[in-house]
Amino acid sequence: MRFQLTPRGFLPGLLLLLTCLMVMVAASAQGDDALPMEGIEALITGQEGDSDSLLHQVYERRGFEPAWNDEATLAVFIDALSSLADDGLDPADYATGILQEEYRQVQATGTALQRARFDVNATRTFLLALRHLQRGKVDPFAIYERWEVPIAEVTLDPMMVSNAIDTRQFAQAFADARPAYPPYERLRSALAKYRRIQALGGWPTLPSRDQSLRPGETHEDILLLRQRLAMIGETMLSPTDAPDMLPTRYDEALAVAVRRFQERHLLQADGIVGPRTRAALNVPVEARIDQIRANLERARWLLHDLPDTFVLVDIAGYRLSYFRPDGQIWRTRIVVGQPYRQTPSLRSEITHVTVNPTWTIPPTILRQDVLPQVRRDPGYLARHRIQVLDGSGYRLDPFSIDWTRPGNVILRQAAGPGNALGQVVIRFPNQHLVYLHDTPAQALFAQEQRAFSSGCIRVQQVLELVQHLFDDTGTDQHLASLIATGETRNVPLSRTVPLILSYWTAQADEAGFVTFRPDIYQRDAPLLAALDRPFFLRDER
């Protein structure tokens, strides 16, 4: 038998079998007599795989005695469940709407079996909420084809669970279950802030306008712009706040606020409110709330057991950060994969660096990008110092190849000036064969949104990153000398360095301001659909 949790707008099919408890009353006597054992132990013992479950361990430590013995405990529990909305979860997934009434009905008229069922199901609800906070509600492997980050194996202490019920410390148990990293708590605070804005009716919308708003202008839309930014704390709103301010004039203080907004939304920070800035300002607060909720779920997937030293690639933010035990010590810009050649999310270990790399052109790039160039321009290969090889690695004469049907040739670009991988490649095991690397196309780092690669990650100031890796791992190599030889060489690190490639479309800083990024790979929609889907559990009896 399956029970559907009740989201808003659905018929009340509720979590943990609660909706049918009273339906069983008429047949209860016969059902009770048929049980080989009575009460709670009968419900959770003898099921396949259940004897080793956390639920069994919780009740075993209690001697299979009831855990939910008074309505006051249940009221505190329901209040704690309701607070999970601050984590972007839906309290309806945990039957908050009917738990208390079901308890009253079962205590008043229910059979021993029905009371036992309610007790077990309430405990299951508690365990479910704890697991959702620790690991997330949604299984990323079920919604993303290119997901390679293992979800942390989190073990709950059955004694802690039992004690939390007995002492009504549900809020503390939930707090302990959340990711213990500042970015998560900052996103929770941001969610509360944006929901307060939603409760006020949201922010004003700037009307469409052929011309941009520029510093120094006076226009009635500037008052709306000022109101919009004031709602998220970017600028002061009224002459009461700033006596010298003319609300409809685009003054320098407002221009500073607009530039900050543009920076946080990966827009050109020029202070000009053109079409792209206007579009970002006009995104409804409800959409921003959903964006925060999606990233809270990502945080629950990822922010567990982070190593002391690691490299973090923020794909949608186009940033790479280097962390040591005392926090972030270095950051730089990156270029990531285009939407049709996405950089994957994964977790791996940096193992070695290739100095003066050659570049063997991957089959997809060869087929879609290089071959059309070669067919149009026979001199393309020579200009780019690309050699043609057969499957055994022997060089072939490019003019002897029928480029309309080249067969299984290999194209390899020689190391040195103009090589697509630059001077160094940073390598780590992964099935997609992506890596971090230098690039001769340095001008792309000046762009605010940088999804230009074929999946690999191009790193600005990559030699500094390599030096950090050498220093932190005790790798005794002089990078400049290695490059100066011009020879291709693999340099193993003395020990590996953890690497995380992750995708975040919203992050909050220490001051509470949220950076919203374009969802370049359209990964938020499937996550939100799964997050909002009503949850199902099966009766285990």
Which residues are designated catalytic? 437, 456
d(CA 437, CA 424): 6
d(CA 439, CA 419): 8
Tokens at residue 354, please?
């290739």
d(CA 114, CA 104): 12
d(CA 104, CA 99): 9
In degrees rounded to 5, what are phi and psi of residue 314? -95, 95
d(CA 286, CA 283): 8
Tokens at residue 145, please?
């084809």
d(CA 100, CA 122): 10
Tokens at residue 260, please?
């900050």
d(CA 187, CA 183): 6
Half-sphere exposure of residue 138: CA atoms within 13 angstroms, side-chain side: 28
Non-local (6+) Cβ contacts of 398 within 8 A are 374, 378, 381, 382, 388
Report the relative pairing of strands 457-459 and 147-148 from DSSP bridges.
Answer: unpaired
Cα dihedral 10, 16, 22, 25 sign: positive
Question: How many CB atoms are closer than 10 A to CB 515?
Answer: 18
> How far from the centroid of its chain's Cα atoms is residue 207's Cα?
33
Non-local (6+) Cβ contacts of 68 within 8 A are 74, 103, 118, 119, 122, 123, 165
Residue 303's Cβ-count burial label (10 Å; 0-12, 13-18, 19+) is middle
Looking at residue 23, the DSSP 8-state letter turns out to be G
Looking at residue 249, the DSSP 8-state letter turns out to be B
> How far from the centroid of its chain's Cα atoms is residue 269's Cα?
26
Taking alpha carbons only, the member of 186, 137, 148 closest to residue 315 is 148
Q: Which residue is listed with tokens 């890796």?
A: 469
Number of residues assigned to the chain: 541
Q: What is the CA radius of gyration of the chain?
A: 29
Tokens at residue 341, please?
């050649």
Question: How many CB atoms are closer than 10 A to CB 304?
Answer: 16
Tokens at residue 298, please?
């990502």
Q: Which amino acid, one-letter code, is at 441? A: A
Tokens at residue 270, please?
């020029």
- Between the CA of residue 400 and those of 54, 360, 467, what are the distances in Å? 68, 20, 44
